[in-house]
Structure 1
Amino acid sequence: MRSTAAALTALSLSMLLPSLGISIANVALPTLSTAFDASFPAVQWVVVAYLLTITVLVVALGRLGDVVGRRRLLVGGIGVFTAATLGCGLAPSLPLLIAGRAFQGVGAACMMALTVAFVGETVPRGRTGSAMGLLGTMSAVGTATGPALGGLLIAVSGWRAVFLAVVPLGVVALVLAARVLPAVPPRPAERTGAVLREVVRDRALVAGLTASALVSAVMMTTLVVGPFHLSGVLGLAPALVGLVMSAGPAVSALTGVPAGRATDRFGSRTMVVAGLGGIVGGALVLAFTPPSFGVVGYVLPLVVVTASYAVFQAANNTGVMKDVPARDRGLVSGMLTLSRNVGLMGGASAMGAVFAFAAGTGDVTSAAAWEVARGTRWTFVVAAALVAVGLAVVLRAAVRASAAPGASEPARAGS
């Protein structure tokens, strides 16, 4: 009999590896530029090819898992990811490395779409929140440890080790997933367009996806603005900037499992609202804390924001997925991942533009400290407003669901 613990271990690795694949490669870009005698825009495709492939394919592959069988596609995705990672580590040229990263993104899209979908097949309903919190923790661990691990591997063995060191983890994930995950039978295929029209009519589901995109955009704000504020306003050296920036992912990793347990106890609606409210409050404190408060004045509200993000993620994923019919879980899980990725990519560009505009200079790197501080303030004000919009959307959907005739239980976004 397959144990829940073994299944969660397999799913945890399947969530960790794609996140690690994003963050561990970023730190290698300067080294790759030197190794291949290539421009920085050219080596940036090592990151872009991976993210773009995931974003384009994640919904379609989630739906394909519903149709052909989720274990089959997840195991296949882990296999593709692992083989492509090995290929990246052995790539003799930059174009082949970029191609390997694109194939790695195909595998990662399968893993990111289907891992969350598998929770309903492997975990008792009353423990769904705890499982979602664990998966959120593993994603945060991958994001937090990637840069440090990548830097260490490059220093010891060169850039190829960044990819080759991940291969054994991929093999372990592949073996575990093949052995312990249940074989979910394929479901009769409905046309994807028809299923998407059912999804659009589900206000609670749309609210959850909208809030996910907005919150992800705001979380990207901390990564875009943080380094400039810490160095330009607070005067920190690069090493200290990296240390302070790592506090966010670390807090998310530590908060994920408790947040999931709280979701199981208090319900996803309550915890979604609490998480969104915490992000709004933390962003406003980040906006208006005077620079004279120093690093502590930045880190404490950042901890509130990231902890609240972990609460929101666990509760929102639980609320979105818990009432989805089994035949559609891969599709909806893929849409969750897509909403998060769209938010991250949109946040990087949009919030970066807000920051530059608010600072009042075209070159933030040479801006005066007071200009950077002004940019930080108004960017986080906008960030708080975006999350407040997400909170309003969620509350409106919850009120409509509660007022619906015959509604005897809380709706998906707020049960």
Structure 2
Amino acid sequence: MNTSTVAQPAATPVTGVLVGLALCTLLPSLAVSSANVALPTLASAFGAGFAEAQWVVLAYLLAITTLIVSAGRLGDLIGRRRLLLAGIALFTAASTLCALAPTLPLLIAARALQGVGAAAMMALTMAMVGAALPKARTGSAMGLLGTMSAVGTALGPSLGGALIGALGWQAVFAVNLPLGLLAIALAWRYLPADRGQGAAGFDLPGTWWLALTLAAYALAMTWHLGLLAAAAVGLLLFLRTEARAAAPLVRLDRLRDPALSTALAMNALVSAVMMATLVVGPFHLSGALGLGAATVGVLMSVGPLLSAGSGIPAGRLVDRFGTRRTSQLGLAVMAVGCALIALLPASLGAIAYVGPLAIVTPGYALFQAANNTGVMAEVPAEQRGVISGLLTLSRNLGLITGASAMGAVFAAGGLRLSFVIATALVAVALGLARRAN
């Protein structure tokens, strides 16, 4: 029985809600891309090698990946607004600790803590859309959240570089303090209060096994493939635990729902393809075409900038034409763009890559807005947090897998083979979308 109560969406100030949720989406994304650009400076400042400094990024991503589903479920149980506020506060406090860290191990620990807060923020922003906004505005809101995630990705390197140059590496983390406080104020003022079902039903064994499984998988993709065996064992133990739990972290019958399982699979597939564009692109532009680092940076910003500009229009198309048609249209557009990258002659230079990328990215924004809206529109109120967490998890796993697998394909077969496979992955997603509808 659902005991959750929320304020009526119609009575909520829409602009305040959207700005608050947008900022909660921007901050975790910005914290990834801005820290990436700081790695060389951090390695120099702490006298560490690149492998050690890379844990500043990896600790953050691991915390998000392993905890995001649990954060969503806990939000359903104790109240999504309450946990979102706690997540923003933790993210903000941990950012301050990062800026004050005197050693690299303490910085890595603070980044992991920052990732815990980011997991709650990422899991619950989508979940709050259904509770805080009219249903007719859901697509536009999802499009805005996608836009803010892309803005964070695009803005991070340039903002991080400027802050490091002017104030030092500490400023990359300190900038989150005023932004985090603003996010807390907006969420406190505008997001509707809700009462959860009680944390007594939280599935600690399931949370433990899922976290270990996801950590093993993420490390297998980024560190050592031998950990895939540990991930497989962890998955079996997680499924066994969930089948026996009185109040499971993830209801297995929900995962057997064809609409949800298809949406999660499509999300992972297209996210792997998008990561391929980010991983393969710089190597192709610099290695095969001989472009300088500055030029490569400018060209690679085209994708995130287009994604930022197309998110809100994509959401409006979803509101107008529905999730079914817009999801399939987005996937079809992505397939065309990926096929063009594979087929256009190298003699065209950078335009043969960047031009099709300008097709792929808006298609991805359209698919994301439609897919997220379609899933969240059908979720019972008491499960919005955990399902939102699963959606974000499927995206993150796609990104992690795409970075590893598509990078290996590029190293073995080059650009053309990489995007033949990328086109096939999008075609599989499109086939799933057509069969599901």
TM-score by length of 2: 0.86
User: CA contact under 8 A between 2:73 and 2:249: conserved in structure 1?
Assistant: no
> Given the alignment, which residue of 151, 165, 168 partners 2:161?
151
Instruction: Give the corresponding residue for 2:395.
Output: 340
Q: Deviations over 1:155-203 (max 9, x none)?
A: 1111001011121000100111112110112136585538521212210
Does residue 331 (structure 1) correspond to residue 386 (structure 2)? The answer is yes
User: CA contact under 8 A between 1:81 and 1:170: conserved in structure 2?
Assistant: yes
Distance 1:340 1:201 in 2: 19
Instruction: Give the corresponding residue for 1:226.
Output: 281
User: CA contact under 8 A between 1:82 and 1:104: conserved in structure 2?
Assistant: yes
Cα offset, 1:247, TM superposition: 0.3
> Given the alignment, which residue of 83, 105, 110 partners 1:100?
110
Aligned residues: 382
Unaligned residue ranges in structure 2 (runs of 5+): 1-10, 203-245
Instruction: Give the corresponding residue for 1:313.
Output: 368
TM alignment of 1:194-343, pairs within 5 A = 195-343=250-398
| Cα distance change of structure 1 residues 323 and 302 upon mapping to structure 2, 3 Å threshold | same
User: CA contact under 8 A between 1:10 and 1:173: conserved in structure 2?
Assistant: yes
Identity among equivalent positions (%) equals 59
Instruction: Give the corresponding residue for 1:122.
Output: 132
User: CA contact under 8 A between 1:75 and 1:174: conserved in structure 2?
Assistant: yes
Q: Deviations over 1:80-100 (max 9, x none)?
A: 000000100110000000000
TM-score by length of 1: 0.90
Distance 1:65 1:40 in 2: 37
Does residue 9 (structure 1) correspond to residue 19 (structure 2)? The answer is yes
Q: Deviations over 1:333-388 (max 9, x none)?
A: 00011000000001100111111111xxxxxxxxxxxxxxxx00000110111111
> Given the alignment, which residue of 176, 179, 185 partners 1:166?
176
Distance 2:175 2:318 in 1: 35
Alignment RMSD: 1.2
Distance 1:111 1:33 in 2: 29
Instruction: Give the corresponding residue for 1:48.
Output: 58
Structure 1 consecutive aligned stretches of length 4 or more whose deviation exceeds 4 Å: 188-192
Cα offset, 1:235, TM superposition: 2.1
Q: Which amino acid aligns with 2:385?
A: G
Q: Deviations over 1:6-30 (max 9, x none)?
A: 0111100000000001111000000
Does residue 389 (structure 1) correspond to residue 428 (structure 2)? The answer is yes
> Given the alignment, which residue of 163, 180, 190 partners 1:180?
190
Q: Deviations over 1:218-241 (max 9, x none)?
A: 000011110111112222111000
Unaligned residue ranges in structure 1 (runs of 5+): 359-374, 399-415
Distance 2:168 2:256 in 1: 51
User: CA contact under 8 A between 1:204 and 1:394: conserved in structure 2?
Assistant: no
Distance 1:289 1:196 in 2: 46
Q: Deviations over 1:96-139 (max 9, x none)?
A: 00000000000000000000000001111111100000010000
